[in-house]
Amino acid sequence: MTNTDIERHLYDVVVIGAGGAGLRAAVEAREAGFRVAIICKSLFGKAHTVMAEGGIAAAMGNVNSSDNWQVHFRDTMRGGKFLNNWRMAELHAKEAPERVWELEMWGALFDRTKEGKISQRNFGGHEYPRLAHVGDRTGLELIRTMQQHIVALQQKDAAQYGDAEVNLKVFAEVTITDVLMENGVATGVYGYRRESGSEILFEAPAVILATGGIGKSFKVTSNSWEGTGDGHALALRAGGKLIDMEFVQFHPTGMIWPPSVRGILVTESVRGDGGILTNSEGKRFMFDYIPEIFKDKYADTAEEADRWYKDQENNRRPPELLPRDEVARAINSEVKAGRGSPHGGVYLDVSSRLLAEEIKRRLPSMWHQFKELADVDITEVAMEVGPTCHYVMGGVQVDPDTAAAVGVPGLFAAGEVAGGMHGSNRLGGNSLSDLLVFGRRAGFGAVAYLKDGSAKPKLSDATVAKAHARLNAPFGRTGGENPYTIHQELQQTTNDLVGIIRIKSELEAALAKLQEFRTRIKNVTVTGGREYNPGFHLAFDLENMVIVSECIARSGLAREESRGGHTREDFPKMDPKWRQINLVCAADGEGTSSTAKTATMMSTELAGLFDPNELAKYFTDEELASVKGGSN
Query: Which residues inside 135-164 make contact with another protein, applying CB under 8 A?
Result: 135, 137, 140-141, 144, 148-149, 151-152, 154-155, 158, 164
**Any contact of residue 226 with another protein (CB under 8 A)?**
yes
Site for another protein in 488-527 (CB under 8 A): 488, 526-527
Q: Among this protein's residues, is 361 annotated catalytic?
A: no
Is residue 36 within a helix (H) or strand (E), and if so which, with residue range? strand 36-39
- Give one word for 447, left, alpha or beta, with left for phi > 0 and alpha for psi -120 to 50: alpha
At its nearest, how many Å lie between another protein and the CB of residue 107? 4
β pairing state of 120-121 and 185-193 = unpaired
Q: What are phi and psi of 400, to 5 degrees?
A: -60, -40
Which of 5, 195, 300, 590 is the binder for another protein (CB under 8 A)? 195
Our CB check for another protein shows the closer of 31 and 304 to be 31
At its nearest, how many Å lie between another protein and the CB of residue 461? 31
Q: Which is catalytic among the residues 74, 121, 130, 251?
A: 251
**Any contact of residue 312 with another protein (CB under 8 A)?**
no
Our CB check for another protein shows the closer of 257 and 294 to be 257
Q: Are 139 and 106 contacting, i.e. CB atoms less than 8 angstroms apart? A: no
Which of 17, 19, 45, 79 is the binder for another protein (CB under 8 A)? 45
Our CB check for another protein shows the closer of 83 and 389 to be 389
Site for another protein in 104-133 (CB under 8 A): 104-107, 109-112, 115-117, 119
DSSP 220-275: SBS--TT-S-HHHHHHHHTT--EE-TT-EEEEEEEE-SSGGGTT-B--THHHHTT-
Q: Give the integer Cα–Cα distance in Å for 571 and 129.
A: 35
At its nearest, how many Å lie between another protein and the CB of residue 531? 5
At its nearest, how many Å lie between another protein and the CB of residue 425? 24
Which of 237, 353, 368, 466 is the binder for another protein (CB under 8 A)? 368
**Any contact of residue 24 with another protein (CB under 8 A)?**
no
In 485-515, which positions are buried (b, 16+ CB within 10 angstroms) versus exposed (e)?
ebbeebbebbbebbbbebbeebbebbbebbe
- Give one word for 478, left, alpha or beta, with left for phi > 0 and alpha for psi -120 to 50: beta
In the stretch 468-487, what mask flags binding to another protein with x, by CB under 8 A?
Answer: --------------xxx---
**Any contact of residue 98 with another protein (CB under 8 A)?**
yes
**Any contact of residue 529 with another protein (CB under 8 A)?**
yes
Our CB check for another protein shows the closer of 164 and 558 to be 164
- How many residues contact another protein, by CB under 8 A? 71
Which of 163, 296, 380, 531 is the binder for another protein (CB under 8 A)? 531
**Other CB atoms within 10 Å distance of the CB of residue 298:** 22
**Any contact of residue 309 with another protein (CB under 8 A)?**
no
Q: Give the integer Cα–Cα distance in Å for 258 and 396.
A: 35
In 106-132, which positions are buried (b, 16+ CB within 10 angstroms) versus exposed (e)?
eebebbeeeeeebbbbbbbbbbbbbbb
At its nearest, how many Å lie between another protein and the CB of residue 104? 6
Our CB check for another protein shows the closer of 259 and 589 to be 259
Half-sphere exposure of 130 (CA within 13 A, CB side): 28
Our CB check for another protein shows the closer of 231 and 318 to be 231
Q: Which value, to the nearest 10 degrees, does the dihedral of the CA atoms of residues 424, 334, 320, 260 take? A: 80
**Any contact of residue 344 with another protein (CB under 8 A)?**
no
Site for another protein in 239-298 (CB under 8 A): 257-261, 264-265
- Give one word for 531, left, alpha or beta, with left for phi > 0 and alpha for psi -120 to 50: beta
Q: Among this protein's residues, is 271 annotated catalytic?
A: yes
β pairing state of 36-39 and 168-171 = parallel
Catalytic residues, by residue number, are 251, 271
